[in-house]
Structure 1
Amino acid sequence: MERILGLDLGSRTCGIAMSDALGMLAHGVETYRFSENAYEKAADYIEKIINENQIKTVVLGLPKHMNGDLGERAEVSIMFKEMLEKRVTGLDVILIDERLTTKVAQDRLIFADVSRKKRKQVIDKMAAVAILQGYLDAQ
């Protein structure tokens, strides 16, 4: 089975998670930081990870409002999805509702007694893990 990449895209960071070879467990890779709204640079970096790991499927968080409407952040995720699919032949980018994933990640880190400073550094990576694990569990 192939590894699957999970992404939590923000305006200056991208949390990155990857599945194990069996596609059962998600683990955090890193939080990639970039200049505000520099999505081309972020796509360059993600493309490199995709190629290095022979990724065929990416699960990208789609931020929705609590009422289900799509806002500006969702439009950015849709644009990023299209950008990745144009860059990597045969790549399937799946948009997943990411409502409350950051809250889930934060609660897990608080439960694990991670300091506030450390939580800030890893929250996006942990949100990517929550997005990817939700997808893997649904499969």
Structure 2
Amino acid sequence: MVIMSVDLGKSRTGIAVCDKTEFLASPYTVIFEKSPNKLPEKVAQAAKEVKAELIVVGLPKNMDGSEGESAQNARDFAKKIQYLTGLETVMQDERGTTITAHNFLNTTNTRGKKRKNVVDEVAATIILQDFLDKRKNKNL
């Protein structure tokens, strides 16, 4: 199944996708959009482009596991995406993914503007890979 993930941001939203085997998550793109009205349409368009069959949206929980305003915004966004695409949309805990993404970028010595532009894409890839690994372990 082709699965697409979304790392929702205020100005940059990272998108990642996996192939039908659900083996490996890969970065797809970053959507540069600040308008909360236009962003769901652009994400829905990306889902159509990659022929997504399921969408995973990162859920920004607090470190203690509670949910704040950002988590509620992500849940509302996921509902809009589900409505626009007609695809099942699931939430995936994204605690620590941005930190992990920065660590990966440190390892590859990615700096400056390029780093700023890809960190959300890398975070979306981590969200999706975490989802795939969890899904795979449930089937074992």
Equivalent residue number for residue 138 of structure 2: none
How much has 1:39 moved relative to structure 2? 2.1
CA RMSD of aligned residues (A): 1.1
**2:6 aligned with 1:7, yes or no?**
yes
Equivalent residue number for residue 114 of structure 1: 110
Q: For 2:60 and 2:44, how far apart are their aligned partners in 1?
A: 21
How much has 1:52 moved relative to structure 2? 2.6
How much has 1:53 moved relative to structure 2? 2.7
**2:82 aligned with 1:85, yes or no?**
yes
For structure 2, list consecutive stretches of 5 or more residues without a partner in the other structure: 136-140
Equivalent residue number for residue 95 of structure 1: 91
How much has 1:60 moved relative to structure 2? 0.5
Equivalent residue number for residue 128 of structure 2: 132
Aligned length: 135
**2:70 aligned with 1:55, yes or no?**
no
Q: For 2:105 and 2:58, how far apart are their aligned partners in 1?
A: 20
**2:55 aligned with 1:25, yes or no?**
no
User: Normalized against structure 2, the TM-score is what?
Assistant: 0.91
Match of 2:70 among 55, 68, 73: 73
Q: For 2:27 and 2:36, how far apart are their aligned partners in 1?
A: 21
Q: For 2:113 and 2:12, how far apart are their aligned partners in 1?
A: 16
Q: Write the letter of the residue equivalent to 2:41.
A: D
Bigger mean CA deviation after superposition, 66-75 or 109-118:
109-118
**2:36 aligned with 1:39, yes or no?**
yes
Q: For 1:54 and 1:20, how far apart are their aligned partners in 2?
A: 10
Q: Write the letter of the residue equivalent to 2:14.
A: G
SS of equivalent residue, structure 1 residue 39: coil
Q: For 2:85 and 2:129, how far apart are their aligned partners in 1?
A: 23
How much has 1:45 moved relative to structure 2? 0.8
